[in-house]
Structure 1
């Protein structure tokens, strides 16, 4: 048995490139930087090493997320297969590119960190809210009301039934 799986957490090096192929499907690609830091034992200086990875996304729902939310500097996690492809340069020489590929039906991509402009609500149990509570209650896409029918926040109702 063998496994071909790469898991990376890093920062996007530039805005993603989105291409549309003849079938109408979109393909997203971007560079991802992973870094490690250490202190040099001999000199005591802080050192850093950065590796650059090429990520290619074929999964259509994830391409939409990349297109809408991923920008230069975004912190993302990716999980995909390591693939090397052969191509020819303009001078006719063979070139090779190794990429992390998120296929149509496998792999994942996660947006790490909080979105810009988001606020923390102490009653949100760790969730990040980008809209004020009043606006969220009026937005049918939020899927839940921001307050109980009594007008109190939902967090107050939840605490009433906790047995400890």
Structure 2
């Protein structure tokens, strides 16, 4: 039994077509923009409140070969590890420049699967993803 695990599984819709990029060693990696939605019913207003979360997915090797053909709107499941990167960036102009620390999060995919479209009534708390939602 592992003492520590870093495994994440997300299911959602792609906000844009898969993007392929070469590495310095001429291997390819693929970046996906995956939207997941969650929601709850506001008891006071008696209406659904939705929240869309965007995930940056990076795939190498065989998962990248499969993910390369995915298109905007595809319903996919991704399993992998959560990685975060911290970097500093100068913000402002002239004497007002300040270094600010940023943190990016991404999921390094080990498995990418295209799923069948969910039934219309399967997720009643989510609205369809629109062009304005795309990351």
Q: Same fold judged by TM-score > 0.5?
A: yes
- Confirm or deny that 1:63 pairs with 2:85: no
- Confirm or deny that 1:99 pairs with 2:100: no
Alpha-carbon distance, 1:10 to partner: 0.5
Q: Which deviations, in whole Å up to 9, do the C-alpha atoms of 1:77-134 show, x marking residues without a partner?
A: 00000110123447564422111112xxxx21110116xxxxxxxxxxxxxxxxxxxx
Match of 1:42 in 2: 44
Higher strand share: 2
What is the CA RMSD across the aligned residues, in angstroms? 1.8
SS of corresponding position for 1:30: strand
- Paired with 2:90 and 2:59, the residues of 1 have a C-alpha distance of 25
Unpaired runs of 5+ residues, structure 2, are 92-98, 118-135
Alpha-carbon distance, 1:38 to partner: 2.6
Mapping of residues 12-91 of structure 1, within 5 Å: 12-58=14-60, 60-68=61-69, 70-89=70-89
**TM-score when normalising by structure 2:** 0.72
- Paired with 1:90 and 1:73, the residues of 2 have a C-alpha distance of 36
Higher helix share: 1
Alpha-carbon distance, 1:15 to partner: 1.5
SS of corresponding position for 2:37: strand
**TM-score when normalising by structure 1:** 0.60
Higher relative contact order (CA 8 A, sep 6+): 2
